Structure 1
Amino acid sequence: MDTSKHNLSTLFEQLGLPSDKASIEDFVARHSPLPGEVAIQDAPFWSEGQSHFLEEGLEEDSDWAEFIDELDALLRH
């Protein structure tokens, strides 16, 4: 069982992306705004594995879902 604390930084680590604050801000700036009709897991900038991880996290309402939702909100602004 995964008992580690999740946050936006650890979500980026899980996705295999740079996870420092500046890198997260840069990622959001480069990929925003995500159109409302595009589900976060279907965004064209994800690899197949990243997309699957996001989709599974949301479908299973996993511990990651809160932070996937947070990233989704950031990408919509």
Structure 2
Amino acid sequence: RQDASERNAVEGKFGEGKRKYGLGLIRARLQETSETVVALQFLILNLERKLRVLFLKFLHNTILYFDNRNLACI
């Protein structure tokens, strides 16, 4: 059961890669080139996720900063 759960998570990431990053559209002829393209696309997927988390933290801290400034002015 746990194995199926882990497999679903991995397959979900592959599905996301196919939908958003074109993993299903790789046309490289050599296996080494195909593996490089896949690795780069997963690198981009991970970087995008980290950037999204960083942006949300920045946005949250900015909102807190301005909320605290407005309270100090009242």
Q: State the structure with more CA Rg.
A: 2
Higher relative contact order (CA 8 A, sep 6+): 1
Normalised by the length of structure 1, the TM-score is 0.26
Normalised by the length of structure 2, the TM-score is 0.26
Flag the structure with higher helix content: 2
